[in-house]
Structure 1
Amino acid sequence: MVSAPIKSAQSAKVISNAALKTQTVNLTVLGAGAWGSALAALASRNQHNVSVWSRRSELSLADAVKGADVILSAISMKGVAELANRLNTEVAVPESAIIVTATKGLDPATTRTPSQIFTETFPTHPVVVLSGPNLSKEIEKGLPAATVVASTDEAAATQVQTLFASDSFRIYTSPDPLGAELGGTLKNVIAIAVGVCDGLNLGTNAKAALMTRAMPEVIRIGTHLGGQTETFFGLSGLGDMLATCTSVLSRNYRVGYGLAVGKKLEQILAELGSTAEGVNTANVLIEIANREEIPVPISRQVHRLLNGKITPQEAVEALMERDLKPEVCDLF
């Protein structure tokens, strides 16, 4: 039973953070994977009412979202468009519900991000992006972490901030949902490249150079598509890249590492037992880069590697043999 339902985005602007923390919120988490489960646990510890739905659960989608104040999607990218359509056509989403997306990826059919899909499907609902350096296994252990909730609706972002924030999970707000989303999405491709670097034992110097040069590539793509430059230097950009590119907990890093030591992509994905979004993202990203004529040298070599066109060693050679240039010529 909800003691004080969450307010609409417009009326919530006059409510203080302290008041919001005392409200009990009905949260529905769509997706029972590691990340969805970790976020559900955070909200539960904050004494909110949490329902978790997945395709395998006995709870129907309609029953899961009934009475929800906040609906959070934490499913893999391949299912986002279908889920949005089902929510729009099969169930009655509460009129005041905030939609949160915690998925990092690009839709292969339309090249859109999850927030773009949800915004187009639900134009009258606030849409919030949750993105940051958040390895789910560390979150589950209660280790300190921080993230970003980004939305063009400031009140909605603030409500989601207070929903999940705790003494071990610090949350910042941002007005740039697309930038926050793209930072978390594009770094997955870079993590594959860094995994290759480590798998080939190329050393710390090479890894530092690769990650540094990856930043202008991510910023170049992200700002071209509508993100704000400063967002990519924050938690959802640089922060997420550092976490994903330096931890063996990262699925995308493990994809690159596995390829570098001679494993087939199919074998690596089977061993992971979960989705490595960087694989799909690399394919969609190159489609965008070709269409928009955006230079993406690192991502292009990752794409070629994933599609069996080059070896890991050839990918490194291709990057090292590029024309010499001043460093600042393409930083932004």
Structure 2
Amino acid sequence: MKICVHGAGAWGTAVAVNAAARHEVTLWARDAAQADAMSAARENSRYLPGLALPASLAVRAGDIAQAQAGADLVIVATPMAALREQLIALRGTAAAVAWLCKGVEPALDASSPASFGLLAHEIWAQVAPELRAGVLSGPSFAQEVAEGRPTALVAASPHAAVRDMLVDAFHGPALRVYANEDIVGVEVGGAVKNVLAIATGLCDGLALGLNARAALITRGLAEMTRFGLALGARAETFMGLSGLGDLVLTSTGDLSRNRKVGLLLAQGRTLAQAVDSLGHVAEGVYCARTVVQRARGLGIEMPIAEGVVALLDGRMSPQDAVAALVGREPVPESVQLQQSGAAAASPRQSP
């Protein structure tokens, strides 16, 4: 199989390295200087220092059409904000297309209260519906995938051929890929877990304890499920790799950028200081407001996500955000679970 990966960040490099062991792979970088440096050093020193690139992996810049000529599969490994541009550029391609980004696109008209950002599959439907496309997602840090450590991912698409191609491209002894038709649920899980990981980082940064962390993750999963069901996802998806699995990893893993944002805010850093210190994109910072906005429009209550937005906007201190969550009125958990299962039919939920 011939594969072209768009984007030479950590994730793009990691999947390119993984696939190059079995397929013909080209890694395309927007920055020509970065591509030249990677080709010469056989290393992505900026994003994955110390990891040797296999000799079989071609690193290119320049004409992207030339780089992907004849490709069977194109992987878009850019941040969420660049996905629309990438899909527009891919209109008419015969290759299958899959994206790696997890999050929500910034609203195209930020001045309009009725305008909100879209999930990746919604962007696809809007700008390039003719593409055979899908998403590769799940609980995974790029560093560990690049190192060949055991990982499980989900290939989601309404097209069986795209799901099969992603499994063929990446499934191997260390990286296991499972197919799923529910692209909505997989993408909701990938987006919302980033927001919830900020809250969990805040919890850990304030030293609230492991009990509090477990409660926050569990209630966060309920929020994620309510939101996803209202958008047409399947409930079982959120108990799988792209729901519970990705939420646990991103909320507890030391490599999680979103969790680190919460930790730094708990230490008294400003949001700007926290983001600047990362050196990578933390998608939860950029999609939290949109998730909450869309949830409000659907009549879905997401108190943890609401608290994260208040924190990011500077309307609450870390201590006040936690106090607001702890001080909510109790309701029976069994009622919440029943309501979550009926979210699509009756969107108004108990918190």
Q: Secondary structure at the match of 1:243?
A: helix
Q: Which residues of 2 match residues 58-207 of structure 1 at below 5 A? A: 58-88=61-91, 93-95=92-94, 97-109=95-107, 110-207=116-213
Does 2:247 match 1:241?
yes
Say if 1:197 and 1:206, in contact at 8 Å, map to a contact too: yes
1:328, distance to aligned residue in structure 2 (A): 1.8
The residue type paired with residue 243 of structure 1 is: L
Q: Which runs of 4+ in 1 moved over 3 A?
A: none
Quick check: 2:18–2:148 contact (8 Å CA) kept in 1? Answer: no
Letter in 1 for 2:105: D
For residues 26-69 of structure 1, what are the alpha-carbon distances to aligned partners after superposition, in whole Å with 9 as ceiling and x for unaligned?
111111110111001111011x1111223213322222222221
Q: Aligned partners of 2:134 and 2:68: how far apart in 1?
A: 17
Q: Within 1, Cα distance between the matches of 2:334 and 2:26? A: 49
In the TM superposition, residue 307 of structure 1 has moved relative to its aligned partner by 0.8
Q: Which residue of 2 aligns with 1:30?
A: 6
**Alignment correspondent of 1:8:** none
Matches of 1:55 and 1:265, distance apart in 2? 28
Rounded to whole Å, the distance in 2 between the matches of 1:242 and 1:156 is 27
Which of 22, 25, 29 is 1:54 aligned to?
A: 29
State the TM-score, normalized to the length of structure 1. 0.88
Superposed CA deviations along residues 239-290 of structure 1, whole A, max 9, x for unmatched, are 0011111111000000000000111111111110010000111011122122
> CA contact under 8 A between 1:101 and 1:115: conserved in structure 2?
no
1:121 CA drift (Å): 2.6
Compute the RMSD of aligned alpha carbons.
1.2
Structure 1: tracts of 5 or more residues without a match: 1-24
Aligned equivalents of 1:313 and 1:130: distance in 2?
Answer: 36
| Identity value in percent | 41
- Segments of 5+ residues of structure 2 without an aligned counterpart are 33-60, 108-115, 341-351
Counterpart residue type for residue 161 of structure 2: A
Instruction: Give 3-state SS (helix, strand or coil) of 1:269's partner.
Output: helix
- Alignment-mate amino acid for residue 220 of structure 1: R
Q: Which amino acid aligns with 2:248?
A: L
2:256 alignment counterpart:
250
Contact persistence 2:201–2:260 (CA under 8 A): yes
Deviation per residue, 1:118-141 (Å, 9 max, x gap): 233332222121110011111111
1:324 aligns with 2:300: no
CA contact 1:286–1:300 (8 Å) conserved in 2:
yes
Distance 1:170 1:144 in 2: 8
Instruction: State the Cα distance separating 1:169 from its structure 2 match.
Output: 0.5
**Partner SS, residue 261 of structure 2:** helix
For residues 139 and 217 of structure 2, what CA distance do their matches in structure 1 show?
Answer: 15
